Amino acid sequence: MIVELGDLALDEGAHLLIKRALATDEQVEVRGTAPTLGVDLPAWCRARGLRINIAFRPGVYIVHRGPARWRDAERAGRVDAPSAHAEARWGLAARGALVEAGAPPLDLPLADRAEVWADEAARLYAQAAAAQWDPATAIPWDAPATHPPEVEDAIVQVMTYLIENETAALLVPTRFLARLHPHFREVMQLLAIQAADEARHIEVFTRRARLRRSELGLSTAGGQASLATLFDEPDFAIASFLLSVLGEGSFLSLLRFLREHAPDACTREVARLAAQDEARHVAFGLAHLQRHVAEDPTLRSRLASAIERRHTALAQTAGLNEEVFDALLLLAAGSWKPDALRAGHAKVVALQQDMDDGRRQRLARLGFTPEEAAALSSLHTRNFM
């Protein structure tokens, strides 16, 4: 094949014509009049393992296809489905890309599909991306509020409690995100947008707390100790289980409770939108763990042991912040009348039962018997998360 370059220089795009010809022919005759072609073309060929002969006529070169440039390259799995194991030598290459030999390996320990994958990850990511909301416009910050000052103080205390719990819910997945092989890009994207959700929740809970007050409420040592056990958990599956399946699952009940008993439209919408996001986090945690348990049935016993271990570690702590319990009671009561307080207390007790019921159902979906689910749910931290 003859490739006529005219006066087109190699660095002006002539190399594309040569590559195109070599893709189909073992040998091509290159003709060109660019002043630098005699220097640039031999160097270009050497860099690519191609042989070049200079013909007897000026401006004519014979280029032979030499050893394939990518002879030692390998595919980073299939583009349409993750591999069972992602190799460190694939580094940051896109799944399915042709990876040249010699690329620096990356130490990313979460590299096994069984540990991290959920078939629902792509769908949940797409759903999350479409459902992002802007705190400035999605929440009626200027909605009227007619509730008494004590009820506003209760809202501030609950928001203070939510802020620290959502901070834990942001930090835990991001710790694992930095250890996840990007071959599992759908999970990587989902964890990233989950962190963005939690950052937004921290923003709106803080803004709601400061809407009519300059100070936040109480953070207790017991609450901090409970959240520290989540942050310190080194195993991705167990951390996902404790955080998403048990903790954030319980928070779905709490956010529904707040929406139902909030005295103003702003607080109701804050709770509704946060719950909408948290439901996706719980869905991914369940989907990931259901798949993991199916591939490794021994995981179920490790999950049970993690609950028991965490319960033992927190046995000497005070559990749920008393101020938070009282704030929830007052929100549910709506007034200081004895009958209203009695009814509010019953509603908070019902909330705790609803949390327990939800945990049992999710544990059952992971294969625990009703008796096992009941026993394990009863050991979940009294701090809810």
pLDDT at 47 over 90: no
Task: Specify the pLDDT at position 319.
Answer: 75
Q: Is pLDDT above 60 for 68?
A: no
Q: Residue 77, CB half-sphere, CA atoms under 13 Å: how many? A: 25
Instruction: Please state, in angstroms and rounded to a whole number, the distance separating the CA atoms of residues 273 and 158.
Output: 16
The mean pLDDT of 63-82, rounded to a whole number, is: 80
Mean pLDDT of 37-42: 91
Residue 66 pLDDT level (bands cut at 50, 70, 90):
low
pLDDT of residue 36: 92
Radius of gyration of the chain (CA): 30
In a domain, 315, yes or no: yes
The pLDDT value recorded for residue 199 is 98
Residue 137 lies in a domain: yes
Q: What is the mean pLDDT of residues 198-210?
A: 98
Residue 291 and residue 213 in one domain = yes
> Which pLDDT score, from 0 to 100, does residue 104 have?
86
What's the rounded Cα separation, in Å, for the pair 61 and 44? Answer: 13
- Beta strands (DSSP E) in the chain are 2-6, 27-32, 51-54, 60-64, 74-75, 98-99
Q: Are residues 89 and 117 in the same domain?
A: no
Give the pLDDT score at 57.
81
When divided into structural domains, the chain yields a total of 3
Q: What is the mean pLDDT of residues 204-218?
A: 97
Residue 212 has pLDDT above 80, yes or no: yes
pLDDT at residue 239, rounded to an integer: 96
Cα separation, 292 vs 257, in Å, equals 32
- pLDDT surpasses 90 at 48: no
Q: What pLDDT shows up at residue 69?
A: 56
Residue 383 lies in a domain: no
Let me know whether 103 and 124 are in one domain.
no
**Whether the predicted pLDDT of 70 surpasses 60:** no
Same domain, 198 and 163: yes
Q: At what angle do helices 185-209 and 149-177 cross, to 10 degrees?
A: 160
pLDDT in tens, 174-185: 999 999 999 999
Residue 335 backbone dihedrals phi, psi, to 5 degrees: -160, 175
Mean pLDDT of 343-368: 97
6 forms bridges with which residues in the sheet? 32
Pull the structure tokens for residue 171: 């930090």
Count of CB atoms within 10 A of residue 39's CB? 10
Examine residue 205 and state whether it is found in any structural domain, yes or no. yes
Q: What is the pLDDT of residues 235-287, one digit of tens each?
A: 999 999 999 999 999 999 999 999 999 999 999 999 999 999 999 999 999 99
* 47 & 175 share domain: no
Report the CATH number at residue 355: 1.10.620.20
Residue 23 has a pLDDT of 87
Q: What is the pLDDT of residue 49?
A: 77
User: What gap in Å lies between CA 303 and CA 244, rounded to an integer?
Assistant: 13
φ, ψ dihedrals at 185, nearest 5°: -65, -35
Amino acid 269: pLDDT: 98
Note the pLDDT of residue 202: 98
Enclosing domain of residue 96: 72-107
Q: Is there a domain that residue 156 lies in? A: yes
Residue 334 has pLDDT above 80, yes or no: yes
167 with 215, same domain: the answer is yes
Q: Copy the structure tokens of residue 239.
A: 């951390």
Confidence band of 328 (pLDDT split at 50, 70, 90): very high
Least confident of 56-65, 80-89, 267-276: 56-65
Q: Which helix (H) or strand (E) holds 37?
A: helix 37-47
Residue 251, in any domain of the structure = yes
Q: Are residues 242 and 304 in the same domain?
A: yes
Query: Does 100 lie in the same domain as 133?
Result: no
Shared-domain flag, residues 56 and 138: no
DSSP annotation string for 217-284: ----HHHHHHHHHHHT---HHHHHIIIIIIIIHHHHHHHHHHHHH-SSHHHHHHHHHHHHHHHHHHHH
**pLDDT recorded at residue 382:** 85
- Residues paired with 13 in a beta bridge: none
Residue 71 has pLDDT above 70, yes or no: no
Residue 208 falls inside a structural domain: yes
Tokens standing for 119? 């078939």
The DSSP code sequence of 86-104 is --GGGTTPPTT-EEPTTPP
- 199-210 mean pLDDT: 98
**Domain CATH number, residue 8:** 3.30.110.40
- How many whole angstroms separate alpha carbon 316 and alpha carbon 367? 30
- Give domain status of residue 384, yes or no: no
Q: Kindly report the number of other CB atoms within 10 A of residue 322's CB atom.
A: 12
| Rounded average pLDDT over 101-117 | 91
Mean pLDDT of all residues belonging to the chain: 93
Residues 149 and 227 in one domain: yes
101 and 119 belong to one structural domain: no
Looking at residue 29, its pLDDT comes to 93
Q: Are residues 59 and 154 in the same domain?
A: no
Q: Which residue has the higher pLDDT, 317 or 244?
A: 244
Give pLDDT tens digits for 129-166: 999 999 999 999 999 999 999 999 999 999 999 999 99
With bands split at pLDDT 50, 70 and 90, how would you rate the model's confidence at 315? Answer: confident
